[in-house]
Amino acid sequence: MEDTHKNYEDQYEEKYQEHWMKIETALENEQLDEFREQFLVIHPYDQAMFFIEQSKENRLIIYSYLSPEEIAEIMINIELEDTKQYFIEMDPRFAAMVFSDMPADDSVDILNEMNKEEVASFLTIMDKEAADEIKQLLHYEEKTAGSIMTTEYVAVFKAQTAEQAMKHLKKEAPGAETIYYLYVLNDDKQLVGVLSLRDLIIANESTMIEEIMSEKIVAVSVGKDQEEVAQMFRDYDFLALPVVDFQNHLLGIITVDDILDVMEEEASEDYSKLAAISDKDQPSDTAFSSARKRLPWLIILLFLGMFTATLIGQFEATLEKVAVLAIFIPLIGGTAGNAGTQALAVAIRGLATGEYEKQGKMKLILREGGTGLITGTVSGIVIMFIIYFWKGDLFLGMLVGVSIMVSLTVATLAGTLVPMIMDSFKIDPAVASGPFITTINDIISILIYFGLATTFMAYLI
């Protein structure tokens, strides 16, 4: 069975590569009809992957072979950070038409990557209706519900019949981003209910919408943070979510495909911060731009490292008397840093998923403290026996073992508490990056280690 499945995959891959080669050949030979015939039958995502692999010269040919609507379908399947360069290299009027054919929220995402002069230029030559819709969305603050919503939805009035609503749906559906849900408004255009497509189809034609709609509405404020909106999608398993103003007027909807983009963006951003990078590196970045993004944190950590070195210098007398203590500095500092980073990852995940709010922060702090104590005790006992058999000095083993036990407990608590404290001050907890926590734990572990060594110096000499 596995061999049959593998053979099928190989045949499919071979067929796919042959089709890909036909498209490339048609493009190289400037065979417009053949290119369109072969290119337009593949999935838009595959079209996008083919497109980004081409040289600028080939992309300019593709622009001339495809309509703005067909190019728009490609653009929405390309990573946001890469799309700006493609619009800049297009003929401005053609690019404006592509923007007009894209969902408004996707157009806004791309325009937000451009400077004000470029945005103004495109909006000036764009179709007025599309430009007005995009301008409306551009006013909303970035990374809020308003900035990621689309105004391409279907709304009906509660006083309509199912037949009237169905006729309206057929008229509006071609321009709507999704039709699985219809949003019900009152005479003041306030959101009062939601209606599934299924309920509308099976309803009697004369039935009033207010009789079949659901009044259990979950909506988000236009200013709500996009990360909180993503959590709502996860909790409620929505395909779409309405966005309202403070008077409950329906302004737009957020669809699940937009939320997937948000989740990827937030995960990438958090990963960058955990790696102590001020902004996300791109494969297209130059060495200079990558260095500029990484240097700020590295400089900060360099100064913290100097503080650590200065701290060790304060215990120079202890080191002179018992030089063997220096052997275990990397061991204690590294182990404490690793424990702190583990706790940090758990804490940030708990804050991001809302787990801390559900279970209570104090309960989770106690759990992490207990975890640190257990892991520290076990690690301390193990290293104590290793040092005893290695160096033949039981007290030295006990000193290092106790230092590791205390350091791991403190480091685990620090990895949990630091992001929670930052979150309480409305600072992104991911800023408490792995290298930052590691350096802080180095300082704590050295203080504990040399403090104990200095206190019990008589037993070591």
Burial class (CB in 10 A: 0-12, 13-18, 19+), 423: buried
- How many CA atoms lie within 13 Å of 273's alpha carbon, on the beta-carbon side? 16
pLDDT for position 318 = 79
Residue 138's contacts (CB-CB under 8 Å, 6 or more residues apart) are 108, 111, 112, 119
Q: Are residues 330 and 453 in the same domain?
A: yes
Q: Is the pTM of this model over 0.75?
A: no
- Kindly state the tokens that stand for 152: 């391409």
Q: Are residues 315 and 344 in the same domain?
A: yes
In a domain, 269, yes or no: no
Count of beta carbons in the 10 Å neighbourhood of residue 314: 12
Short-list 86, 222, 209, CA closest to 155? 209
In a domain, 282, yes or no: no
Domain end, chosen from 215, 234, 256, is at 256
pLDDT for position 285 = 61
- Kindly state the tokens that stand for 175: 């321009």
- Kindly state the tokens that stand for 134: 């995009």
In contact, 238 and 215? CB cutoff 8 Å: no
Beta bridge partner(s), residue 182: 195
Q: In terms of residues, how long is the chain? A: 461
pLDDT for position 97 = 94
Q: Are residues 296 and 382 in the same domain?
A: yes
In contact, 397 and 383? CB cutoff 8 Å: yes
* Residues 248, 219: Cα–Cα separation, whole Å: 9
The residue behind tokens 């939601």 is 194
Question: For residue 419, what is the domain's CATH number?
Answer: 1.10.357.20
Q: Are residues 327 and 450 in the same domain?
A: yes
Q: Are residues 84 and 164 in the same domain?
A: no
How would you classify the pairing of strands 181-185 and 155-157? parallel
Query: Which value, in Å, is the radius of gyration of the alpha carbons in the chain?
Result: 30
- Kindly state the tokens that stand for 5: 């499945």
Q: Are residues 354 and 418 in the same domain?
A: yes
Q: Are residues 129 and 159 in the same domain?
A: no
List, as one string, the DSSP characters of 53-68.
TS-HHHHHHHHHHS-H
Cα distances (angstroms) measured from residue 372 to each of 338, 377, 380, 403: 11, 8, 12, 13
Domain end, chosen from 122, 144, 166, is at 144
Question: For residue 39, what is the domain's CATH number?
Answer: 1.25.60.10
In a domain, 230, yes or no: yes
Angle between helices 394-424 and 329-353 (to 10 degrees): 30
Q: Are residues 291 and 432 in the same domain?
A: yes
308: left (phi over 0), alpha (psi -120 to 50) or beta: alpha
pLDDT for position 383 = 93
- Kindly state the tokens that stand for 32: 């417009």
Residue 351's contacts (CB-CB under 8 Å, 6 or more residues apart) are 419, 420, 423, 429
In a domain, 26, yes or no: yes
pLDDT for position 424 = 78
- Block means of pLDDT (10 residues each) for the chain, 461 residues, are 55 76 92 93 92 93 95 91 89 93 89 88 90 88 88 92 94 87 92 93 94 92 90 86 93 89 71 56 63 70 75 78 82 86 79 67 85 93 92 89 92 86 72 67 86 82 56
What single-letter amino acid sits at 270?
D
In a domain, 326, yes or no: yes
Query: How many structural domains are present in the chain?
Result: 3
In contact, 416 and 347? CB cutoff 8 Å: yes
Q: Which long-range contacts (CB under 8 A, 24 or more apart) does 348-353 make?
A: 348/270, 348/274, 348/419, 348/429, 348/430, 348/432, 351/419, 351/420, 351/423, 351/429, 352/227, 352/266, 352/270, 353/231, 353/234
Beta bridge partner(s), residue 373: none
Longest dimension (CA), the chain: 96
Backbone angles phi, psi at 284, to 5 degrees: -85, -5
Count of beta carbons in the 10 Å neighbourhood of residue 424: 10
pLDDT for position 357 = 65
Question: For residue 178, what is the domain's CATH number?
Answer: 3.10.580.10
Domain that holds residue 450: 287-460
